[in-house]
Amino acid sequence: MPQIVDDLRHVLGAKLVAYIAAVTETRTVREWVTTGRRPAPAAEQRLRLAHRVVTLIRASEGVGIVPTWFQGMNPMLGDRSPARMLREDDFDDAGPRVLAAATAFVGA
């Protein structure tokens, strides 16, 4: 998990990682990387999916597009951002929808 969070932090920035994980401080994100502290299971699920999406989009479109994609309104997600959907919605619904939107984005 520390490597996943560190990769997310480098690509998305600590603020966006904290937002997706539904934590209030970027210090928490840093602690996940440096101290061995683990995110709550629900946050870990969201972070693992976010990392999968980051890897997919980065390979296809480049690293610079990834943060914009996570924060932008997405028509496949009801004009909500993927980050917001991962943070606020039930993961069993949001996870597959965000992954499908990412797959459609790189395939378009």
Q: How confident is the model at residue 59, as a pLDDT?
A: 96
pTM (predicted TM-score) = 0.94
- Shortest CA distance to 55 belongs to which of 89, 13, 108, 106? 106
Q: Per-residue pLDDT for 36 more than 90?
A: no
Q: Per-residue pLDDT for 108 more than 80?
A: no
Mean of all residue pLDDT scores within the chain: 96
Span 37-51, pLDDT tens digits: 999 999 999 999 999
Q: What DSSP string describes 51-81?
A: HHHHHHHHHHH-TTHHHHHHHS-BGGGTSB-
More confident residue, 108 or 60: 60
pLDDT interval class at 20 (50, 70, 90): very high
Q: How confident is the model at residue 61, as a pLDDT?
A: 94
Mean pLDDT, residues 9-38 = 96
Q: Per-residue pLDDT for 10 more than 80?
A: yes
